[in-house]
């Protein structure tokens, strides 16, 4: 896997350049760059959700630097499906150029357009469906139906004079899908027969043996849990998981319960899905949240967001007793989703909090209330054998997933030298169906923090972690400008240090001594004196308390 940064050569005419901008080594930020003959096609533009070590961050975007100076050359953004890790970055990309065409299925574009409306952006969009072909500059696109945990997902074949690329997006091979829409293996086989020079394939479940269970196996379990629940039922899922919400509506209807949606994104997305006919709502099942409080506890189901332990989502607020719905004895909470890697601790905190409040918490660990939307190893092997790609680039996954996917490709006969373990920013060039790694860009995380985009740095996050974990100490000292003698102070104040301010009495003489010695050595610069104070206090607090708080000294000359 590439580690050193080096620039790629100038791109020759007739050569296709491929750069995964996000989605490699992580679950999220999926975005891939394709360029040939001066024109650029983007596939997906998603976000990554922050982890505990990124305090205060709302979203993490792909690094758009490879295209920031080339925006006029972008012929379009093809979106494979409507999940946030594939579409969530679109508003931020369109802030840079708002007329970049968006290409996707009906549901995908409807979900994107609703997000863009909140950003006051009206996009140029082209709705496509499986079997359709479109030309965007030097790119000939063919769209293939794939099955995923959201309706209307598409794979895309990208044909250029340099060769053919097949990108699956996220997919699985559910043989009895709820909407009857199968992953079209016949089209995969046809494309394979014509020749797939580079296969970009979903890696998320590549290390899971066998086959992903059927989506329809979840419905009876939800029905049983709801039937046995003595009081309210609260179900958390992704706000775009139309199939899961459909199963909840059907199970609630079968048990004489009504359903209220909680969370802005859940209400928005399910309203869109129902209007477009992807969600079939039984008569008299839905009820507005404000009216749901008048329904008896054993006759209501709340469908909410927050299945990943997001601190501001509905379920976390319930667990923290910061929501109008007060969870208590007899309530049943169902987490109908898988755990995104990195979210495990947050999810278990929510489960513990709800359990302490008296709820019966049902999750994937103790009941079959979720199946993955990603192909397991057995399904991927089928795809490799059907398509027989010349080259393979595993995408969409953490490093262990990419490695597992590469191993599957090699097992089916793809030469090891034609199987590329890349990372975000790896540059691959393809010419006449031959692929080579030619560069490695230095791409980083772009943090969204409130209205700030890209202003927060890793250094800022380090400071936030120190403040949150180690505390803060400020020191104010006034010294005589000519002699360096301390006139006032040192005044020391601390926050989050968990010690009385009197403990600093022992370090004050050390500060005065260090400043006096600096004065004897002719040090007069206030910045240099501040650094001396910082080092003195830092050594003392580390030796005495084994702590590394943020230390902010201020030396004033009088």
Higher pLDDT, 389 or 477: 389
Domain presence at residue 135: yes
Least confident of 373-387, 399-413, 456-470, 482-496: 456-470
Least confident of 117-126, 246-255, 503-512: 503-512
Average of per-residue pLDDT values in the chain: 87
Residue 506 is part of a domain; what is its CATH number? 3.10.20.580
- Residue identified by tokens 């949606």 is 261
Q: Between the CA of residue 139 and those of 97, 157, 452, 541, what are the distances in Å?
A: 20, 10, 35, 62
Residues in the chain: 558
Looking at the fold, whether 47 and 174 belong to one and the same domain comes out as yes
Residue-wise pLDDT for 108-120, tens only, equals 999 999 989 988 9
Domain presence at residue 346: yes
Sign of CA dihedral 503, 506, 507, 511: positive
Domain presence at residue 11: no
| CB proximity list for 62: less than 8 A, separation 6 or greater | 21, 22, 29, 31, 45, 46, 89, 424, 443, 446
Looking at the fold, whether 231 and 295 belong to one and the same domain comes out as yes
Looking at the fold, whether 326 and 224 belong to one and the same domain comes out as yes
Looking at the fold, whether 264 and 186 belong to one and the same domain comes out as no
Strand partners, 166: 157, 199
| CA-closest candidate to residue 330, choices 302, 298, 291, 364 | 298
pLDDT of 137 above 70? yes
Interatomic CA distance for residues 529 and 229, integer angstroms: 67
pLDDT of 1 above 60? no
Q: Between the CA of residue 46 and those of 23, 31, 371, 467, what are the distances in Å?
A: 9, 6, 22, 30
117 membership: H or E segment, kind and range: helix 106-118
Strand partners, 6: 440
Looking at the fold, whether 64 and 142 belong to one and the same domain comes out as yes
Give pLDDT, residue 312. 61
Looking at the fold, whether 505 and 518 belong to one and the same domain comes out as yes
Q: What is the mean pLDDT of residues 160-170?
A: 96
- Residues 185, 211 contacting (CB under 8 angstroms): no
Domain presence at residue 3: no
pLDDT of 454 above 60? no
Q: What is the mean pLDDT of residues 355-377?
A: 83
Question: What letter does residue 26 receive in the DSSP assignment?
Answer: B
Last residue of a domain, one of 420, 444, 468: 444
Give pLDDT, residue 416. 96
- Residues 207, 400 contacting (CB under 8 angstroms): yes
Give pLDDT, residue 471. 74
| CA-closest candidate to residue 251, choices 216, 296, 277 | 216
Number of domains forming the structure of the chain: 3
- Residues 183, 171 contacting (CB under 8 angstroms): yes
Residue 322 is part of a domain; what is its CATH number? 3.40.50.10710
Looking at the fold, whether 246 and 347 belong to one and the same domain comes out as yes
Least confident of 94-103, 301-310, 495-504: 495-504
Residue-wise pLDDT for 25-75, tens only, equals 888 899 999 999 999 999 999 987 766 566 566 678 899 999 999 999 999
Interatomic CA distance for residues 28 and 537, integer angstroms: 42
Q: Between the CA of residue 457 and those of 5, 54, 209, 465, what are the distances in Å?
A: 20, 10, 39, 13
- Residues 307, 337 contacting (CB under 8 angstroms): yes
Residue 46 is part of a domain; what is its CATH number? 3.60.15.10
Least confident of 100-109, 355-364, 489-498: 489-498
Looking at the fold, whether 310 and 414 belong to one and the same domain comes out as no
Give pLDDT, residue 4. 83
Least confident of 98-102, 463-467, 503-507: 463-467
Looking at the fold, whether 229 and 318 belong to one and the same domain comes out as yes
Strand partners, 61: 446
Looking at the fold, whether 298 and 233 belong to one and the same domain comes out as yes
CA angle 161-164-169, nearest 5°? 140
Coil, strand or helix at 275? helix
Q: What is the mean pLDDT of residues 117-139?
A: 94
CA angle 374-377-383, nearest 5°? 85
Domain that holds residue 245: 215-362
Extended strands (E) in 227-296: 233-236, 258-261
Last residue of a domain, one of 362, 384, 418: 362
Looking at the fold, whether 58 and 179 belong to one and the same domain comes out as yes
409 membership: H or E segment, kind and range: helix 399-411
Interatomic CA distance for residues 391 and 379, integer angstroms: 18
Q: Between the CA of residue 143 and those of 193, 397, 540, what are the distances in Å?
A: 16, 23, 65
Last residue of a domain, one of 393, 411, 444: 444
| CA-closest candidate to residue 47, choices 447, 468, 349 | 447
- Residues 346, 352 contacting (CB under 8 angstroms): no
Domain presence at residue 203: yes
Looking at the fold, whether 510 and 541 belong to one and the same domain comes out as yes
Give pLDDT, residue 342. 62
Give pLDDT, residue 508. 82
Q: What is the mean pLDDT of residues 156-170?
A: 97
- Residues 493, 501 contacting (CB under 8 angstroms): yes
Q: What is the mean pLDDT of residues 457-472?
A: 65
Q: What is the mean pLDDT of residues 192-197?
A: 96
- pLDDT band at 290; cut points 50, 70, 90: confident
Among 176-180, 313-317, 467-471, name the most confident range: 176-180
pLDDT of 344 above 60? yes
- Residue identified by tokens 């010695």 is 517
Residue-wise pLDDT for 6-18, tens only, equals 999 999 999 999 9
Domain presence at residue 1: no
- pLDDT band at 472; cut points 50, 70, 90: confident
Q: Report the percent of the chain where pLDDT is more than 90.
A: 53
Give pLDDT, residue 470. 67
């Amino acid at each position: 896997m590439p580690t050193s940064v080096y620039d790629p050569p100038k791109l020759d005419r007739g050569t296709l350049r491929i750069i995964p901008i996000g989605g490699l080594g992580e679950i999220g930020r999926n975005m891939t760059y394709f360029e040939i003959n001066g024109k650029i096609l983007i596939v997906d533009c998603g976000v990554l959700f922050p982890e505990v070590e990124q305090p205060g961050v709302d979203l993490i975007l792909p690094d758009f630097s490879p295209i920031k100076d080339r925006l006029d050359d972008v012929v379009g953004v093809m979106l494979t499906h409507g999940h946030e890790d594939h579409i969530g970055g679109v508003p931020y990309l369109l802030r840079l150029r708002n007329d970049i065409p968006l290409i996707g299925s009906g549901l995908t574009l409807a979900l994107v357009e609703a997000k863009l409306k909140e950003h006051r952006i009206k996009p140029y969009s082209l709705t496509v469906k499986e079997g359709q072909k479109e030309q965007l500059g030097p790119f000939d696109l063919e769209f293939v139906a794939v099955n995923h945990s959201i309706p209307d997902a598409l794979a895309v074949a990208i044909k250029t004079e340099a060769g053919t690329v097949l990108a699956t997006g996220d997919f699985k091979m559910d043989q009895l899908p709820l909407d009857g829409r199968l992953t079209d293996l016949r089209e995969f086989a046809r494309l394979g027969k014509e020749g797939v020079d580079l296969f970009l394939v979903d890696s998320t479940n590549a290390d899971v043996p066998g086959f992903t269970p059927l989506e329809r196996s979840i419905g009876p379990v939800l029905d049983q849990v709801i039937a046995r629940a003595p009081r309210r039922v609260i179900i958390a899922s992704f706000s775009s998981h139309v199939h899961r919400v459909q199963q909840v509506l059907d199970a609630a209807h079968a048990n004489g319960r009504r359903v209220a949606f909680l969370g802005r994104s859940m209400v928005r997305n399910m309203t869109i899905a129902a209007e477009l006919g992807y969600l079939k709502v039984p008569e008299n099942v839905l009820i507005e949240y404000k009216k749901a409080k008048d329904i008896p506890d054993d006759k209501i189901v709340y469908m909410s967001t927050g299945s990943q332990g997001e601190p501001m989502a509905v379920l976390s607020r319930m667990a923290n007793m910061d929501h109008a719905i007060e969870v208590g004895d007899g309530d049943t909470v169902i987490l109908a989703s898988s755990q995104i890697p990195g979210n495990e601790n947050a999810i278990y905190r929510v489960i513990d909090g709800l359990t302490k409040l008296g709820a019966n918490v049902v999750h994937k660990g103790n009941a079959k209330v979720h199946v993955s939307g990603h192909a397991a190893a057995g399904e991927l092997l089928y795809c490799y054998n059907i398509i027989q790609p010349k080259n393979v680039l595993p995408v969409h996954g953490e490093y262990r997933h990419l490695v597992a996917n590469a191993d599957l490709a090699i097992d089916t006969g793809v030469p090891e030298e034609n199987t590329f373990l890349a990372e975000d920013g790896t540059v691959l060039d393809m010419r006449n169906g031959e692929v080579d790694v030619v560069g490695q860009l230095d791409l980083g995380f772009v943090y969204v923090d409130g209205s700030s985009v890209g202003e927060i740095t890793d250094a800022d996050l380090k400071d936030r972690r120190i403040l949150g974990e180690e505390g803060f100490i400020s020191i104010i000292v006034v010294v005589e400008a000519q002699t360096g003698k301390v006139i006032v102070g040192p005044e020391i104040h601390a926050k989050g240090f968990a010690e009385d301010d009197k403990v600093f009495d022992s370090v004050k003489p050390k500060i005065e001594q260090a400043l006096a010695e600096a004065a004897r050595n002719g040090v007069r610069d206030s910045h240099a004196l501040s650094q001396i104070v910082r080092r003195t206090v830092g050594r003392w607090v580390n030796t005495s308390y084994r702590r590394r708080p943020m230390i902010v000294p201020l030396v004033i000359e009088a």
